[in-house]
Amino acid sequence: MITPDTLKKGDSVAIISSARKITEKEVSFAKQLFKSWGLNAVLGKTIGKEDDQFAGDDILRAEDLQTMLDNSEIKAVFFARGGYGSVRILDKINWKSLANNPKWLIGYSDVTAVLMHSYYNASMSSIHGIMPINITDLSENTAVNSLKNILFNGNNEITCPSFPLNRQGRVTGEIIGGNLSVIYSLLGSNSFGDTEDKILFIEDLDEYLYHIDRMMQALKRSGKLNKIKALLVGQMSDMHDNNVPFGKTAYGIIADCLKDTDFPIAFNLPVGHIGTQNHAFIHGKSAEITISSDLVTIRQ
């Protein structure tokens, strides 16, 4: 697995959108923040472009990402926002270019598609962390500080209280995954390969509870959960129910789906659609996971 070099002052980084449209004003605080870190932020052609809900059509969004991957002076690519659309350009990219010019790819939510695809097709570690759309001022917070620590120091630690549904254990392995709806959409493709000995992470937003069950059953039936070392579950935010209640919370649904497995599971991690508390982690890098009766610790 390739882990990009840490950043240093004077490095150039890109801000692009592989999905939903976004204005230059909406990334202005991110540009200022990166400048305060000593970085030169370069805006891609997709910033400010519009094609229905997208930041330009598929061709433009693919070209913008390809340009930044090809440019050896660009040391990191920040995906400006999620929404929907990254999966539409994955097969238009020459991913060998990323392997030849390793750099950090940074995002979450819809950008999970990029993180997963680059892991399986370019053997590249990336960062599951906040995006420019989430940076609305220049104050320090958990999401910003954890991202900065990874970019400049190359390491990461997340510690949080245990949760009643947790299954204790201690394992070491590469963390992969991200948004549950997105990885579910990647099933059967080369963007979601073998999961043996991996630590799988999932989180989600704005989903119906029955759909959480549907997606978990699909992962289970496809064999993606058979040989993983552990499951990490972030925030399941703004879940919905039907008039006839499903009967379980999102965490309860996941626990029920995995009741016949024996690998460690940690719920309620401070990762996902939770704004300034969204801890970053290194996608694809080995981590030491300890799930005890009182604490969960993730060290990379």
147 and 104 inside one domain: yes
Percent of the chain with pLDDT over 90: 99
101 and 210 inside one domain: no
Per-residue model confidence (pLDDT) at position 300: 97
Q: Are 173 and 264 in contact (CB under 8 A)?
A: no
Looking at residue 111, what DSSP letter applies? Answer: G
182 and 235 inside one domain: yes
User: What CATH number should be reported for the domain holding residue 43?
Assistant: 3.40.50.10740
Q: Are 216 and 250 in contact (CB under 8 A)?
A: no
258 and 238 inside one domain: yes
User: What CATH number should be reported for the domain holding residue 224?
Assistant: 3.50.30.60
172 and 268 inside one domain: yes
Percent of the chain with pLDDT over 70: 100
pLDDT tens digits along 165-217:
999 999 999 999 999 999 999 999 999 999 999 999 999 999 999 999 999 99
pLDDT tens digits along 164-176:
999 999 999 999 9
- Angstrom distance (rounded) from CA 273 to CA 202: 12
Per-residue model confidence (pLDDT) at position 118: 98
Tally of domains in the chain: 2
pLDDT tens digits along 117-140:
999 999 999 999 999 999 999 988
For residue 112, the enclosing domain spans 12-153
105 and 174 inside one domain: no
Considering just the CA atoms, what is the radius of gyration of the chain in Å?
A: 18
Q: Is residue 2 part of a domain?
A: no
45 and 135 inside one domain: yes
Q: Is residue 236 part of a domain?
A: yes
Average confidence (pLDDT) over 212-223: 98
Q: Average model confidence (pLDDT) for the chain?
A: 98
Q: Is residue 148 part of a domain?
A: yes
Q: Which of 181, 63, 201 is nearest to 126 (CA)?
A: 201
Average confidence (pLDDT) over 74-100: 97
91 and 222 inside one domain: no
Q: Is residue 7 part of a domain?
A: no
pLDDT tens digits along 1-47:
999 999 999 999 999 999 999 999 999 999 999 999 999 999 999 99
203 and 278 inside one domain: yes
pLDDT tens digits along 56-69:
999 999 999 999 99
Q: Is residue 140 part of a domain?
A: yes
Residue 205 bridge partners (DSSP): 237
- Out of 153, 176, 200, a domain closes at 153
Question: pTM for the full model?
Answer: 0.98
- Out of 153, 175, 208, a domain closes at 153
Query: In b/e form, how buried is each residue of 19-57, taking b as 16+ CB within 10 angstroms?
Result: bbbbeeebbebbbebbeebebbbbbbebbbbeeeebbbb
Q: Is residue 126 part of a domain?
A: yes
- Angstrom distance (rounded) from CA 284 to CA 281: 9
